[in-house]
Structure 1
Amino acid sequence: MSTSINSSRRGASSSYLIRKGDTLSELAARFKTSVKELARINNIANPDLIYAGATLRLPGSAGGRATGHSGKDSFDSGKSGPRGSGGASGGGEVSGSGGVAPGQATPAMRRLAEAGRQAALGMGGYNSQGLCATGVSRAIQNAFGIKVWGNGNQIDNNLPRDKFKQVNMSLEQALKIPGLVLTWESTSTRLGSIYGHTAITTGDGHSSASDFIERNTTNSGRTGFKVFMPLI
């Protein structure tokens, strides 16, 4: 894929125009730097949230600033084209949180959270079986009667868009709300690097359910994070 890079001098890249589907971790690898460094010089509070069309300052530019940049943080809320770190694969439009707060979860969301917990306890309990997508698919079918196919990094493409919408929030926010579907394109394990991971939030602020209850769900070693909310 071609890249859009502005240079302040020959051989010294200064900025990059973020495109649809870009993630901070992928850009860090492409430009031979780290997510932490990109977040630092761009004042990004949430590395899981970057915006298509925004300018990303790159290490090596004068004073860490992009040539011709206004100085305003490119990642302020309200910019058009918000993207989670995994973009919006599957054609889903990324929207805001929909005004959903922990105490405002819909009955459908609470139903999915309970179905996720029951599916996890019926499969691996608190130990992963390597069947996260099976657990999530089973929970969705038990809660709503909908069959969703695919592995951890395919479920996001297969969720019916009239029943689920992709929402723009951090993992920390999502874990406080029950009944959200989480997906990651890749994880640090051998199978996870191929099949990704998916889970359903329980709403307690730290755990999620798939084929097991993951008591401390984090983005550590995981990339391409997305959140989906049921509309049923």
Structure 2
Amino acid sequence: MTDYRTTSRNRPRPPQDYVIQKGDTLSALAAKFGTTVDQLVRDNNISNRDLIFTGNKLKIGHSTTDSFQSSGNRQGIRGGNSPVGGGDDVGGPTGAGPSNASAAMRRLADAARQAAMGMGGYNSQGLCATGVSRAIRNALGIGVSGNGNQIDNNLPRDKFKQVNMSLEEALKIPGLVLTWESTSTRLGSIYGHTAITTGDGHTSASDFIERNTTNNGRTGFKVFMPI
């Protein structure tokens, strides 16, 4: 007679949350927990399978669509290889994307759109820092002063961290604060520019909606993420 009882060797593991440790990779974790990289990516909505973060929780065996949240100043871990970066400068994609940005980032993106539409709409008013400051206050309850090339120094570091990524990458993620030290306009050459990403890959918002945000004529680019 066939014995259908499961053994400890083939019994499925119960769902669990695993805290990612330094040196972990998706491929190693998949092997450890008897699953696949593809399954981990699906269950955690990981937008970039080549980058995970120490300290984040990874859902194992849940088969849900919960978000893979970025949290705090964590070291970036290449999913299939070795640790990269560290501290605030994580390099490249940060693990936060359109499908898994934090609630604070989404609130900030929404507040930025509202501020922009309430000021200049689709036409610049020369008040970019005012629009960004208004959005940050409305979304996060944080007061930030300064013009376009000062606001980066005035963002509280316990609430924002600087991340190293290209403008192209940043524009795909909602709720990031962008700053430039200088632009090609007369006022921009003095006061710089700042805006908040909406996450659609090309639009940012400040005192107006800039439909095609580029680095053309702009220098000293920086990106800051709410934490």
Return the match for 2:172 from 166, 169, 176.
176
Aligned 1:73-152 pairs, distance under 5 A: 93-96=88-91, 97-152=93-148
Return the match for 1:159 from 135, 146, 155.
155
Structure 2: 5+ residue runs without aligned partners? 1-82
> Does the 8 Å contact 2:182/2:191 carry over to 1?
yes
How many residues in Structure 1 have an aligned counterpart in Structure 2? 145
TM-score in terms of structure 1 length: 0.60
RMSD across aligned positions (CA): 1.9
Larger Rg: 2
After superposition, the C-alpha distances for 1:3-33 in whole angstroms (9 at most, x for unaligned) are: xxxxxxxxxxxxxxxxxxxxxxxxxxxxxxx
Measured after TM superposition, the shift of residue 209 of structure 1 is 0.2
Between the aligned residues of both structures, percent identity stands at 83
Q: Which residue does the alignment assign to 1:209?
A: 205
Structure-1 separation of matches of 2:151 and 2:89: 16
Structure-1 separation of matches of 2:118 and 2:144: 19
Structure-1 separation of matches of 2:104 and 2:85: 29
> Does the 8 Å contact 2:149/2:179 carry over to 1?
yes
Give the residue type in structure 1 aligned to 2:167.
L
Q: Which runs of 4+ in 1 moved over 3 A?
A: 78-81
Give the residue type in structure 1 aligned to 2:137.
Q
CA gap 1:119/1:80 in 2 versus in 1, 3 angstroms: closer
Structure 1: 5+ residue runs without aligned partners? 1-77, 82-91
Measured after TM superposition, the shift of residue 177 of structure 1 is 0.5
Structure-2 separation of matches of 1:229 and 1:186: 21
